[in-house]
Structure 1
Amino acid sequence: MPYAMRANFGLSLSTRAVLFDWGTLDDLMEAAQTAEASGYFESIWVGDNLLSKPRVEAIVTLSALAARTEHVRLGTICLASFPLRDPILLALQWASLDVLSKGRTVLSVCNGGSALDGPQFAHELAVMGVASRERVGRVVEGIDILRRLWSEDRVSHNGTYYRFNDVDVLPKPVQQPVPILIAVNPKEEVVDASVTDRILQRVATHADGWQTDATPVETFRHRFDTIRHYAAEQGRDGDQLESCLHLMVNINEDRDRAFHEAATFLSAYYGAGAVSQERAEMWLAYGSPQAVIDKIAAYLDAGCTTPVLRFVSPHPTEQLQRCIDEVLPAFRSQST
Structure 2
Amino acid sequence: MAKELEIGVLLHTRHLIREGGSSPSFEQLWDDAVLSEEMGLDHIWLGDSITLLDKARGDCLTTLGALAMKTKRIKLGVVPFLPVLRHPVVLAHALATLDVISNGRLIIAASVASMREHIQRQFAACGAPIHEKAGRLEESIQILRGLWTQDTLTHEGRYYQLKEVGILPHPIQRPAIPIWLTADRHDDGFKRVAKLADGWVTMVNTAEKFAQGRAKVDVYARECGRAGKIPVSALYASFNMDANGEKARSEGWAWMEKFFGVPQSQSAYHVGIFGTPEECARTIQTYVDAGMTTVIARIASSDPKRQMRLLLNEVRPRLSL
Q: Same fold (TM over 0.5)?
A: yes
Q: Which residue of 2 aligns with 1:134?
A: 132
Q: Which residue of 2 aligns with 1:180?
A: 179
Distance 1:98 1:170 in 2: 12
- How far is the alpha carbon of 1:207 from its aligned partner? 0.9
Please tell me whether the aligned partners of residues 227 and 238 of structure 1 are also in contact (alpha carbons under 8 angstroms). no
Cα deviation per residue 1:267-291 (whole Å; 9 max; x = unaligned)?
2222222x339838x6111111111
- How far is the alpha carbon of 1:48 from its aligned partner? 0.7
Cα deviation per residue 1:6-29 (whole Å; 9 max; x = unaligned)?
411111112223234399522222
Q: Which residue of 1 aligns with 2:265?
A: 276
- How far is the alpha carbon of 1:324 from its aligned partner? 3.2
Q: Which runs of at least 4 in structure 1 moved beyond 6 Å after TM superposition?
A: none
Cα deviation per residue 1:313-335 (whole Å; 9 max; x = unaligned)?
1221222233333223334x86x
Q: Please state if 1:10 is matched with 2:11.
A: no
Which of 238, 244, 247 does residue 234 from structure 2 map onto? 244
**What RMSD over aligned residues (CA atoms) do the two structures have, in Å?**
2.3
- How far is the alpha carbon of 1:95 from its aligned partner? 0.2
1:104-183 paired onto structure 2 within 5 Å: 104-114=105-115, 117-118=116-117, 120-176=118-174, 177-183=176-182
Q: Please state if 1:296 is matched with 2:284.
A: yes
> How many percent of aligned residue pairs carry the same amino acid?
32
Tell me the SS of whatever aligns to 1:106.
strand
Gaps of 5+ in 1: 187-195
Q: Which residue of 1 aligns with 2:203?
A: 213
- How far is the alpha carbon of 1:254 from its aligned partner? 2.5
- How far is the alpha carbon of 1:258 from its aligned partner? 1.5
Distance 1:161 1:215 in 2: 35
Please tell me whether the aligned partners of residues 194 and 230 of structure 2 are also in contact (alpha carbons under 8 angstroms). no
Which of 58, 61, 65 does residue 60 from structure 2 map onto? 58
TM score, norm. by length of structure 1: 0.87
TM score, norm. by length of structure 2: 0.90
Q: Which residue of 2 aligns with 1:34?
A: 35
Distance 1:94 1:246 in 2: 22
Aligned AA (1:316): P
Distance 1:145 1:316 in 2: 38
Aligned AA (2:6): N
Change (3 A) 1:252 1:21: farther
Cα deviation per residue 1:238-260 (whole Å; 9 max; x = unaligned)?
36421111111001223232222
Please tell me whether the aligned partners of residues 156 and 167 of structure 1 are also in contact (alpha carbons under 8 angstroms). yes
Bigger Cα displacement from structure 2, 14-23 vs 150-159:
14-23
Q: Please state if 1:88 is matched with 2:85.
A: no
Count residues with an aligned counterpart.
315
Aligned AA (1:103): G
Bigger Cα displacement from structure 2, 173-182 vs 122-131:
122-131
Aligned AA (1:327): V
Aligned AA (2:102): S
Aligned AA (2:183): V
Q: Which residue of 1 aligns with 2:215?
A: 225
- How far is the alpha carbon of 1:47 from its aligned partner? 1.0
Distance 2:266 2:274 in 1: 12
Tell me which of the two structures has the higher relative contact order, counting C-alpha pairs closer than 8 angstroms and 6 or more residues apart. Answer: 1
Q: Which residue of 2 aligns with 1:261?
A: 251
Distance 1:238 1:57 in 2: 34
